[in-house]
């Protein structure tokens, strides 16, 4: 039997490993179109208007209002190493940003079209999401030389539902290799518990709440080198990370996170949407 958008073999491997690599999912031209659109968006961004830095290592830095209210906006976040000691950008803004987030898939027509295709809808249905909701999107630059590492984590830490339902769709817009910061995953690691939640505090800050002390076994990570156009599907409990980019080449990627709308979404999740502008499924574009 074939599930829509996903073969029986693919579903079996996803259930076993917690991830799935689908090469050539996106056409090179579609990848180029997203990269061109991201470049246009960056052109509109005034780097003097915000100096918000995104760091997965020091997440307390993300507690600024610009980050906290980015769930239903298009916002720009810098690399930690983008600034000199005097707070000036060391290089052009196009080579200084860590990511754009977190509602490109709703607010930008090019990203919306890429994110809401019948093919993706079928794939997500094949993964078992009954009421898929496109909750978060990120354009990740992983800049040459200064692209920071993303430390090991589970996406359900950041987008928590009861029960767990988040699925990550990670598209390589450029080749991702060992030297420019490809993904690393722990095969089968999604069968372990959720270790932490990342929540808003009553004081409008953010903090991690420890749920389970089981460490991620560092020696169990395997690299997922991915050619341009590859889609990596990540189970919300799968431990994954990416290394810094110390190469001369960027490693642009687009990531989309979906949850099941039939699951409860606690109010203390960091990502919030204006009730008048809720996250939606594939049907409304």
- Residues lying near Fe ion in the complex (CB under 5 A) are found at 155
Q: Which is nearer to Fe ion, 95 or 253 (CB)?
A: 253
Dist CA 183 CA 170 (whole Å): 10
Nearest distance, CB of residue 59 and Fe ion, angstroms: 13
**Closest separation in Å from C-beta 154 to Fe ion:** 8
| CB closer to Fe ion out of 17 and 155 | 155
* Residues 53 and 96: beta-carbon distance below 8 Å: no
Asked whether the beta carbons of 271 and 158 are under 8 A apart, the reply is: yes
- Terminal CA-CA length for the chain: 30
Minimal distance, residue 128 CB to Fe ion, in Å: 19
Identity of the residue, 14 or 95, whose beta carbon is nearer to Fe ion in the bound complex:
14
Per DSSP, which regions of 147-247 are E strands?
A: 150-153, 167-172, 183-185, 196-200, 206-210, 222-224, 231-235, 240-242
For Fe ion, which is the closer residue by CB, 126 or 239?
A: 239
In the complex, the smallest distance separating the C-beta of residue 255 from Fe ion, rounded to whole angstroms, is 7
- Please, what is the minimum distance in Å from the beta carbon of residue 85 to Fe ion? 31
CB of 50 to Fe ion, least distance (A): 23
**16: its two tokens:** 């076993």
In this complex, which beta carbon is closest to Fe ion, that of residue 132 or of residue 152?
152
Burial class (CB within 10 angstroms; exposed 0-12, middle 13-18, buried 19+) of 31? buried
* Residue number with the smallest Cβ distance to Fe ion: 155
| DSSP element (H, E) containing 74 | strand 74-78
Q: Which of 201, 120, 223, 128 is nearest to 166 (CA)?
A: 128
How far apart CA 110 and CA 222 sit, in angstroms, is 33
Closer by beta carbon to Fe ion, 53 or else 238: 238
Contact call for residues 156 and 263 (beta carbons, < 8 A): no
């Amino acid at each position: 039997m074939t599930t829509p958008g996903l073969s029986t073999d693919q579903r079996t491997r996803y259930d076993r490993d917690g991830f799935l690599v689908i090469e050539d999912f996106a056409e090179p031209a579609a990848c180029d179109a997203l990269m061109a659109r991201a470049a246009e968006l960056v052109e509109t961004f005034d780097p003097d208007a915000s100096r918000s830095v995104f760091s997965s290592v020091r997440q307390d830095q993300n507690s600024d209002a610009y980050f906290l209210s980015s769930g239903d906006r298009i916002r720009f976040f810098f690399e930690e190493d983008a600034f000199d000691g005097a707070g000036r950008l060391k290089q052009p803004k196009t080579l200084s940003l860590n990511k754009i987030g977190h509602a490109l898939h709703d607010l930008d027509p090019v990203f919306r079209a890429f994110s809401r295709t019948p093919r993706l809808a079928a794939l997500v249905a094949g993964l078992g999401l009954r009421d898929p909701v496109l909750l978060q999107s990120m354009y990740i630059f992983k800049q040459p030389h200064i692209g920071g590492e993303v430390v090991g984590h589970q996406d359900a830490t950041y987008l928590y539902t009861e029960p767990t339902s988040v699925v990550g769709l990670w598209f390589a817009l450029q080749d991702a290799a060992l030297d420019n910061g490809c993904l690393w995953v722990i095969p089968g690691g999604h069968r372990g518990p959720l270790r932490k939640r990342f929540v808003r505090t009553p004081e409008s800050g953010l903090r991690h709440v420890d749920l389970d002390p089981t460490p991620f076994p560092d020696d169990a990570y395997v690299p997922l080198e991915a050619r341009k156009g590859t889609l990596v599907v990540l189970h919300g409990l799968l431990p994954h990370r990416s290394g810094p980019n110390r190469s001369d080449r960027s490693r642009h990627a687009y990531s989309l996170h979906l949850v099941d709308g039939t699951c409860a979404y606690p109010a203390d999740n960091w990502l919030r949407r204006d009730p008048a502008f809720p996250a939606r499924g594939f049907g409304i574009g």
